[in-house]
Amino acid sequence: MEERNASLDEIIGQTGFARNAAILAAKEAVNENDETRKRFEIMCRAAFSKFKASITIQGVNAYRDDLSAINIIYKSLQQDREQADITNIIRQLHSIVDEAIVTQAYPSVAEESAPYDISKIDFDRLRREFERSPAKRTTVQNLKTAIEQRLQRLLQQNPARTDFQKHYEEIVAEYNREKDRVTIEKTFEALLQILSDMDDEENRAVREGLDEESLAVFDLLRKPDLTSADIKRIKAVAVDLLEMIKAEIVRIHDWRDKESTRDAVLLEIKDYLWSEKTGLPEIYSVTDVEEKVSAIFEHVFRVYPTVPSPYFASMAL
């Protein structure tokens, strides 16, 4: 903490707003990048362990206040990770900047729990608030966590979304290389953009006239340079193929456990996609069809241990 001009004494000796500001400054120091945060958390756990092991040693209680201050920072970081979502991050940005410091009415429980509609967010205002925020690094880390959680869900449901992961990893890599103010603000903007793109992606199924489950199959089946007629055909194939697969999985108990039952599902997929009546358009070569059969089976094996799929269950609530 001393290396980064953050003081544990300020956390120990202050109260109210001054103490909160000291905690925020400490978190900013820790959140310099992914490596510094990871290093700090490892050192915290080591300190907790050593203190516990030394509890019977004379004089150890002289360090209890220091340990408590470290624990406050550590728990605050864990709480940020657990509560990271775009709604909380936006509210925190608004409240930090709006602190004049004037007493503000506390929002009702209903207001606190209502999620932000990403499409209605004033991104220009958010950028201005971020520029004025004393918690830029912490905000970026929390935004990264929220995006990682959302990205994980998107990829679990649809493996064709790997471009989002690649783009996100490029943003994070650049952020971890550079630590100046311009890079932090640039990273914040890039994260806001990828968040907006992910929101648009989550609405794509509706635009395509599909649900999320059939969209994943459609994405795995399609290839470049398709005509509108081909796309329409493949959408129909995706919907019907998925229904057939789900019916087969329901019929077979623990279908992934035995080679014979796995082969049965694979054969159903292969027969369906090769059929002139139900399968893919003639533009698909023999190699294309074989690749699509493998891709669909791998997706089904991963996402449908049971029907309904646990990966899409939350969407059905």
How confident is the model over 287-304, as pLDDT tens digits?
A: 999 999 999 999 999 999
* Contact in structure between 67 and 54 (CB atoms under 8 Å): no
Q: How many CB atoms lie within 10 A of CB 237?
A: 23
Question: Burial level of 138, CB count in 10 A (0-12/13-18/19+)?
Answer: buried
Alpha-carbon 281 to chain mean position: 36
Residue 27 neighbours by CB under 8 Å, 6+ apart: 73, 76, 77, 80, 135, 137, 138
CA distance 4 to 314: 43
Taking the CA of residue 167 as centre, how many other CA atoms within 13 Å lie in the half-sphere pointing to its CB?
A: 14
* Contact in structure between 90 and 121 (CB atoms under 8 Å): yes
How confident is the model over 231-249, as pLDDT tens digits?
A: 999 999 999 999 999 999 9
Q: What is the mean pLDDT of the chain?
A: 88
> Mean pLDDT over residues 156-163, rounded?
95
